[in-house]
Chain A
C-alpha cells in the first residue's frame, strides 16, 4: 500500500509530530504499579526506570489510589496507559472520558500516555476487553479521527499499542503492520510496540514476527511492552496463544525484544503483569533482567547479537 493513497496528514497532527516527543519516559525498564505494592514501593524505592498505571483505575475521586500514586510519582516517571478510550470503536471518544483523562494528566504529568488499537465499548456498553478491528479503509479513517480527537483534546501525542488478536476479518484489506504504519503517518501518534502481542498475534495467525516488526515504522516507537501468555489450541488444533498478562515473559518474546533493542537501541520497556501478580521483588527482578538487555543493546548494532536471541 502506498501512503499517498490516503492523502495528507492534518495540520494539527503534523505540528504535533514535529513539536512534541511522543514519550519522555527514560530508556529503562519499568513495571506496572499494583495497589498491593504501594507501601512497599515507597518504603524500598526499587531501582526501576518508571511505573505504569491503567488510567481508568485512577478515575476515582480520591482515597488511597491517589494518595499513593501522588507520593510514588514524586520519585518515579509515570506512564499512563489507557484501556477504555475505545480508539477503535464505532462511536467517537467519549467527552467525559477525555475530560477525566485530561484531569489525570494535569495532576500527575505522566511522561507518556498510551492506548490500544482496539475497541472496548459499543452502544454504550463497556466490555473490558481489547477487541479486534477489520483493517480496512473505513476503519483506518475512523481510528485516525479518534486519535486526532484525543491528541487535540490532550494537547500531546499519544502512543498506540499493537493488539494481540485471535480472529481476523475477511473484510480486512491491509495487514496490521501496514494499518499501524498508516495510522502513525496520518495522525502523528507514536507506537507502543508490545513485543508479546507481536508474538501472540503472529503465532495465532501464522505470521513471521520478525518480518512484522521490520515492517513497522520503528522510529515512531516510544515504549516497549513485555508480558506473558497462556497456551491453547484453535478448532483446527493449531496453537492459540492468549495474552494473559499472568505469566513470566516467554523465551520467544525475550528473543524478539533482544532483536529490537540490538537494532534500535534502548527504549522505555514495561514488564506487564495484571493477573497472578507476584511479589514486588519478582517484578523488579524481571525488570532488571530486561534492563540488562537494554544496557547491552543500547549501542545500536547492525545485526542482532546471536547470544541475545536466546532466552535467559
Chain B
C-alpha cells in the first residue's frame, strides 16, 4: 500500500517539531528567498514558547541543572510529548517521569522528584476554590470524642501529598532561601503536604505517617481508618495537632458523619 502524501497543514504541523522534516512545498516568500528560513520563525516560536512554559512550571528543576541543560531537556520532552491541550497550566504532568528516564540527567537522581513537587504546586495553585471549615470546629469535636472516628473529612481541592526517597523537600526549600543546600543529606526519605492558603501555595514538610493519614482521608476513608493507617506507620502518631494544623490552614472543607 502506498502511503498518502501529507496534506499541506499536516506537513506543516509535522515540520514544526521535527528539525529533520522540511516544510510543505507550497510555502513561498514574495522575494523568492528560501521559505525555510521564514518557517524557522514558527519552529522557534513553538519550541521556545513550550520550553518557556515548562521553565515557568519547573523553576527549581531549571536551577538545579542550569538553564542550558534544562532547555535541552525540556526541548526533548516537548518533541516527545507536545501538549494535547491549549491550557498550558495543564502541560507538563508527564515531565517528571520523562526526567526520571532521561539518561543525561541520571547524575541528578532527585531531579525528577523535585519536578514532581513543582508540578503539585502548580496543581494546587489552580485547584478549585472551596470554603474551608474554621478551626473552631475542633472545640466542638473535642466535646464529643466518641463520634470522631466516624467522621469523614473533605479536604480542600488544593491539598496534595508528596513523598520522595530523596531529600527533595529540603532541596526545593533551599531554593526558596530556606535552609542550606550544603547541609542536605540527599539520601533521606522526605514528605510534604502541598496546599493553598490565602492565595499562596505552601509546602509543609510532613512525616510519612501524616502522608498515610492524608492519603487515606483523600481516598474517602473515615477518621478511625485513616488514623489506623497512620499509627501502623508510627505508633505514637498524634491526630489532634495534625487536625488543628489542617483546619488552621483552611485545608478542610467539610466534616461529615458517615
Contacts and interface: CB of A to CB of B under 8 A. Distances in A.
Contacts of A169: 8, 26-28
A57 B125 CA distance: 13
Given A83-B86, A127-B82, A169-B8, A242 B31 contact: no
B38 A62 contact: no
B45 interface: yes
B199 A63 contact: yes
Contacts of B82: 125-127
Given A62-B126, A206-B31, A240-B38, A122 B87 contact: no
Nearest to A123: B13
Contacts of B33: 234-238
B83 A167 contact: no
Nearest to B52: A275
B87 A167 contact: no
Nearest to A86: B86
Contact of A62 (B25, B39, B127): B127
B29 A236 contact: yes
A205 B8 contact: no
A287 to B, nearest CB: 25
A157 B37 CA distance: 37
Interface in A232-273: 232, 234-238, 240, 242
A228 interface: no
A61 B126 contact: yes
Nearest to A232: B41
Interface in B116-131: 125-130
Interface stretch (A128-136, A189-197, A301-309): A128-136
A129 B49 contact: yes
B86 A242 contact: no
Contacts of A97: 86
Interface stretch (A15-23, A64-72, A288-296): A64-72
A50 interface: no
B34 interface: yes
A134 B126 CA distance: 38
20 contacts: A59-B86, A59-B89, A60-B126, A61-B129, A63-B125, A65-B126, A86-B86, A90-B9, A124-B84, A125-B13, A126-B82, A128-B88, A129-B45, A131-B16, A166-B39, A168-B29, A206-B31, A207-B30, A237-B33, A238-B33
Interface of A: 56-57, 59-67, 83-84, 86, 89-90, 97, 100, 119-129, 131-132, 134, 166-171, 204-207, 232, 234-238, 240, 242
8 cross-chain pairs, A with B, having the tightest CB-CB distances, nearest first:
A84-B86, A236-B33, A62-B129, A60-B126, A122-B13, A61-B128, A235-B37, A235-B34
Given A66-B129, A67-B129, 16 more contacts: A62-B129, A63-B126, A90-B10, A97-B86, A122-B9, A122-B10, A123-B10, A123-B13, A126-B84, A128-B86, A129-B46, A167-B27, A171-B26, A234-B31, A235-B37, A236-B29
